[in-house]
Structure formats: structure tokens, C-alpha cells
Amino acid sequence: MNRKTKHIFVTGGVVSSLGKGLTSASLGMLIESRGLKVAMQKFDPYINVDPGTMSPFQHGEVYVTDDGAEADLDLGHYERFTNTKLTRHSNYTTGQIYLSVIEKERAGVFLGATVQVVPHITDEIKAAINSVITPDTDVVITEIGGTVGDIEGRHFLEAIRQFGLEKGRENVVYIHLTYLPYLRTTDEVKTKPTQHSVDWLRMIGVTPDALICRTEKPVPQSMKDKISLLTSVPKGAVFDAPDVESIYELPLLLHERGFDDFIVSRLGLDARTPDLTRWKEMVERQRKPDVEIDIAIVGKYMTLEDSYKSIFEAIDHAGTSLGVKVNANKIHSEELEKRSPEELLRNQSAILVPGGFGERGIEGKIVAAGYARRNSVPYFGICLGMQVATIEFARNVLGLAGANSSEIDPKTPHRVISLLDAQAKITDYGGTQRCGAYRCRLAEGSIVHKLYGVLEISERHRHRFEFNSAYKEIFEKAGMKIVGTNPEENLVEIINLEDHPYFVGVQFHPEFQSKPLRPHPLFVGFINAALSKNIKQHQR
Ligand code: GLN
């Protein structure tokens, strides 16, 4: 095969949190819309081997791929913006790269050589870049986490420098994302940090082909010309990216500025003009909703928006598709242990309890599930949210006093949620977790069958505990139906309360597969039910 895969590297400077992930994702979307096949990947500078063990309080959500990799949340943006298939090769950390090199050293692979950052670590990184290429990949977009100048990220920058040299500069584009701060006192936008950031990159041998300058407001051409002069990046390759109201506007904004045209011509790609009609319509719908509703998200990691990133996005996708602006109000589950649900949840048209680990705040979530059940408030329980709904039903409907998950209370007399190992023979989950995509068969005629429109689905998991099958029968008899089951192991995947407008608990994480143009059916069903309940409207 003589076709050559092209490469785009995205680095960032000046400050972190500029939206490198979103920029990469937007670029992926634009390139895809031009009929090309894109692969996406992120390098993270930290030493953790994967983010699976990092606190959601600190690092935000752990994103899960189909093949069960626990990955950085930027991968969620990649999947939401593009159709690229992400795998465990889509996210590499410094820890993972070093671990692999050190393991090879221990196994004697290097035949007595002194093992060094160059070439051993950089070779490992270059192999990681190549690992995402499939026979039909036209363009690989690799985002380098962190900021230029960080001590931790240097080996990645060195590797991408070498990569450009070896692959040929005509096949590689370096994009650098910077920040243009606005100084209120003098009423001006400053370019100096951008110059320094580019100087840094140059010092290590990477010459950026394009700059994307994040700003509060659009900047005039004269400012771009100045940046061009000072950084040697050609005028036509200095782009500004002012703040946008919705992240989904970013690809449209970059397209208007000619960013994808620049990439396509710089890499000599044979690409059609993009058709962004559907995307534009979606952004328009999002801008002008017909109604507004309030729903509650009852969770533990409520201080950081990113902890439930994919959940908020999935809610937004469903809302947009229905012409609804959904205000997802964060309610700390521990609050529900101190104050009444009536007081805290009265004004909410629906309740969602997301996934989580550990005991903190669990009783509050159980209270939320009970409130939703009794008051016919639409309820969507995801992973832990499904488990608390199970516990609540066991205690308060089935009369199983002290029922619990063995994660929370190992001595409970009724372990309605129990350890996976005790029930199933699945052996391919990472560590002791069931992680990644598993099949699920839906009950014919059930609400979930109607919403999905098919009888078999595949959804991603990340958990250790499961619905205890020994209790299936009494749950079903009392009206809590098992409407989704894993065909291999007969594990309970979805529960649904009869005679309730929408009470669905899922053992998996549907939020990971929702996209703005393909909202997840269970989220659509949930928001639709919330809409019928719309408390705001009923109060008017
Ligand atoms: N802690 C629960 C378990 O391990 C739920 C996990 C989750 O919500 N992702 O099963």
C-alpha cells in the first residue's frame, strides 16, 4: 500500500485549560466532514499509568473506550465530535511509556545497551503514534497534554520533533494553541506570552506550522500579522479562536476562518468541501430552545463540572434534539442526608444519579431514588445510580431491612448488589473491574426496547459490583422488571419500574456513546419524560 498517512500534532502553551482537546476534536470533525478517515490520540504527561486510579475531584471523569481502556476525558470529546474508533492506543501517559520501556529493559530486550530517553523513550512514543494507524487512516491527530515548557512533557515533544524529521515535513503539521490575554487596565491584547511559547517550541526543534490563539474576543488581522511577524508563522496560518458559548460552535468557527482549508492544502490532501449543514442545524437548535426544564443530578463529585463531563454532554445532546434547554442542577448527595428530599428536589422535573465509588453520600442517593419512585418523578440511575435504586426498592418495597451493596456494607443481611466474581465467570475485565463494551439483550416490548429500537445493544461498563441474580424473581414480582440482560453471563444490565413514567437503572455508562448528532436513546427517553413532568411549566 503506497498511501501515506498524514499527521497533525497539537501542542499548547502559555496556560493550560485552553481547550486543546476540543480544538483537536473540532479539527477531527472538520477533516472527517471532508471525507477523510481520522484517527485520534492523546499523550498525557503524568506518571500514572492510566487515569483509572485518579480522583474525579482532581482529574475529572475517567472515560472508557469499547476495549475497556480507562482514559483521559478528552477522548470523550474526540468521540463526541467524530466517528473515529478509540481504543487503548488512543491514550498514552508518561507512566505507560516508561513502564513499557522498563519492562523491556528487565526482559533484556535492549541487549545490554544503556537505556535512555533518546532513543528508547522517544522510540516507544513514536511506536505509540504509529499504533493508531489502520490501513484506511488518512490523518492521525495527536494531542500532547500539558503545556510547552513543562518538565514532564519534554519527551513527547522530542518524539514528535523526530517524527516530523523521519516522516517528512510535508506529511506532518504542528499546531500550537496559545493564549492572548486581554489587559483591562490598558485595554489591549498582549502577544508576548505567545511569542515566548513559540520560542520554547523552537528551542526544542519544533517549528509550528499554525497557531490558534485563544482570546476572549475576535482579534483584528493587524494583530494576527504582528503575531506572524514575531513568530515566523505565516500570516495565513495564524488563527484566532475567541470564546464560544457552546463547544459545538468551535468547529464552525474554525471552518469560517479557513482552518481546515489550511490543513488540507498544507498536507496536500485530496478532500472534498465539507457539508456542515446538520451540525449547523444542531447548533442553531441548541441556541434557540423552545422550553427550559430543571433536573437534578445527585452525585458525590459535585464541585468539579468535569467529574461527570459525559453525563452533562449526553443530557445536552438529548435536550437539544428535543428543543429543550436542560438546566442540570448539581445536588450533593450528602445534602440529602441532612435535609428532606421534598425540600431539595421539589422543583426538579427529573432526577439522575450518576456512577460513583465508595460509601460517601450513598444514603443520600438512596433517598433520591426513593423520592423519585414514590412521586413518579422520572429517574435515571447510571451504574451506582442503578445500584442505589435497587437497594432502595429492596429496603422499602420488598421490606428487606438493611439491604445494601456489599461494596458499602460487607455485612449486610441482603446483599442485593454483590461482587461480580461471586456471580459470573467473566475473566477479561481489567483488574477486578468489568470495563469496556458488553452486549445486552433487551426485553421485547419494554420501554428500553422501544427507545433503542433494537433488541440487542452494546454499552460500556466500569464497575465491580452487580445486581445479585438471586433476588431477580422477588424484584420482578413486585414490579421492578429486569429489561436488559447480558447474554453471556446472564447478568442484570437494566432495571425498570412498572407503572412509573420513567424509572430506568442501567449497570453500564450510556453517556459515553452519546453524540450531538446521535443523542443516546435512554437520555432522550429520560428528558422526554422530564418534559411531560415539567414542573416549571406547570407552575406558570
Ligand atoms: N461502585 C460501583 C461498582 O463498582 C459502581 C461503579 C460506577 O458507578 N461506575 O460496581
Phi, psi of 149 (to 5 degrees): 105, -15
Residue 509 CA: nearest ligand 1 atom is 9
- Looking at residue 56, its pLDDT comes to 61
Query: Counting atoms of ligand 1 from 1, which one is nearest the CA of 384?
Result: 8
Any idea what the CATH number is for the domain that residue 514 is in? Answer: 3.40.50.880
Q: Do 196 and 302 sit in the same domain of this protein? A: no
pLDDT at 324 over 90: yes
Q: Please tell me the predicted confidence (pLDDT) of residue 300.
A: 82
Please indicate, yes or no, whether residues 294 and 267 belong to a single structural domain of this protein: no
Verify that 210 and 302 share a domain, yes or no.
no
| Pocket probe mutation, ligand 1, options 462, 466, 508, 512, max atoms within 8 Å of Cβ | 462
Instruction: Confirm whether 1 is domain-assigned.
Output: no
CA torsion sign, 168 to 170 to 174 to 180?
positive
Can you tell me whether residue 249 is helix, strand or coil? helix
3-state secondary structure of 411: coil
Predicted pLDDT at 3 = 65
pLDDT of residue 422 exceeding 70: no
The three cell numbers of residue 31 are 477533516
Confidence of residue 198 (pLDDT cuts 50, 70, 90): very high
Choose one of 300, 420, 463, 511 to mutate for the ligand 1 pocket test, by most ligand atoms within 8 angstroms of C-beta. 463
Where is pLDDT greater, at 17 or 534?
A: 17
Percent of the chain with pLDDT over 90: 81
Which pLDDT score, from 0 to 100, does residue 430 have? 39
Please choose, from the candidates 400, 396, 425, 433, the residue with its C-alpha nearest in 3D space to the C-alpha of residue 415. Answer: 400
Whether the per-residue pLDDT at 536 is higher than 70: the answer is: no
Distance CA 434, CA 258 (A): 44
Q: What is the per-residue pLDDT across 334-370, written as a single tens digit (0 to 9) for each? A: 988 999 999 899 999 999 999 988 888 899 999 999 9
State the total domains in the chain. 2
In sequence order, the β-bridge partners of residue 176 are: 11, 211
Other Cβ atoms less than 10 A from the Cβ of 452: the count is: 18
* Average pLDDT rounded to a whole number, residues 125-143: 96
Taking only the tens place, the pLDDT of each residue in 26-78 is 999 999 999 999 999 999 999 988 777 777 666 778 899 999 989 888 899 99
How far is 5 from 176, CA to CA, in rounded Å? 21
Cell numbers for 289, please give them: 430552545
Positive or negative, the CA dihedral 521, 524, 526, 528 is: negative
CATH number of the domain to which 75 belongs: 3.40.50.300
For residue 515, the 8-state DSSP code is B
178 within domain boundaries: yes
Ligand 1, atom nearest to 385 Cα: 8
Mark whether 342 and 406 lie in a shared domain.
Answer: yes
Residues 200, 332, single domain; the answer is no
Shared domain for 273 and 300, answered yes or no, is no
Q: Are residues 310 and 457 in the same domain?
A: yes
Same domain, 173 and 28: yes
Q: In the listed set 281, 298, 325, which residue is the last one of a domain according to the structure?
A: 281
Is residue 426 assigned to a domain? yes
Cβ of residue 510 lying under 6 Å from some atom of ligand 1: no
Please, which pLDDT band fits residue 1 given cuts at 50, 70 and 90? very low
pLDDT over 80 (residue 2): no
Give the sheet arrangement for strand 465-467, strand by strand: 404-405, 415-419, 465-467
> Residue 414 domain-assigned?
yes
Q: State the pLDDT at residue 218.
A: 87
- The pLDDT score that the predictor gives to residue 399 is 97
CA of 342 from ligand 1 middle (Å) equals 27
Same structural domain for residues 43 and 160?
yes
Tell me which residues are annotated as active site.
Answer: 383, 509, 511
Residue 365 in contact with ligand 1 by CB distance below 6 A: no
Tell the residue nearest (CA) to atom 9 of ligand 1. 355
* Residues making up the chain, counted from first to last: 540
Q: Tell me, what's the pLDDT at 269?
A: 94
**272-307: pLDDT as tens digits:** 999 999 999 999 999 999 999 999 999 987 666 788
Top-confidence residue, 421 or 230: 230
Tell me: do 422 and 335 sit in the same domain.
yes
C-alpha grid cell for residue 70?
A: 480507562
Q: Specify if 363 maps to a domain.
A: yes
Among 263, 281, 299, give the residue marking a domain's end: 281
Summarize the confidence of residues 464-477 as an average pLDDT.
95
What range defines the domain where residue 448 resides? 289-539
* pLDDT given for residue 232 in this prediction: 95
Number of Cβ within 10 Å of residue 409's Cβ equals 16
Instruction: Tell me if 232 is assigned to some domain.
Output: yes
The pick from 70, 357, 391 for probing ligand 1's pocket by mutation, whose C-beta has the most ligand atoms within 8 angstroms, reads 357
Assess whether 271 and 314 both reside in one domain: no
Query: pLDDT band at 429, cuts 50/70/90?
Result: very low
Looking at the fold, whether 302 and 265 belong to one and the same domain comes out as no
- Quickly state the pLDDT bin for 415 (edges 50, 70, 90): very high
In a domain, 476, yes or no: yes
Q: Whole-prediction pTM value?
A: 0.92
Instruction: Assess if residue 107 is contained within a domain.
Output: yes
CB 381 within 8 A of CB 369: yes
- pLDDT, tens digit, for every residue of 155-166? 999 999 999 999
Which candidate, 381, 278, 382, places its Cα nearest to that of 321?
278
Domain boundary among the residues 281, 308, 323 is at 281
Give the Cβ contact number of residue 284 at 10 Å.
10
> Counting Cβ atoms within 10 Å, is residue 435 exposed (0-12), middle (13-18) or buried (19+)?
buried
Bridge-based pairing of strands 6-12 and 139-144 is parallel
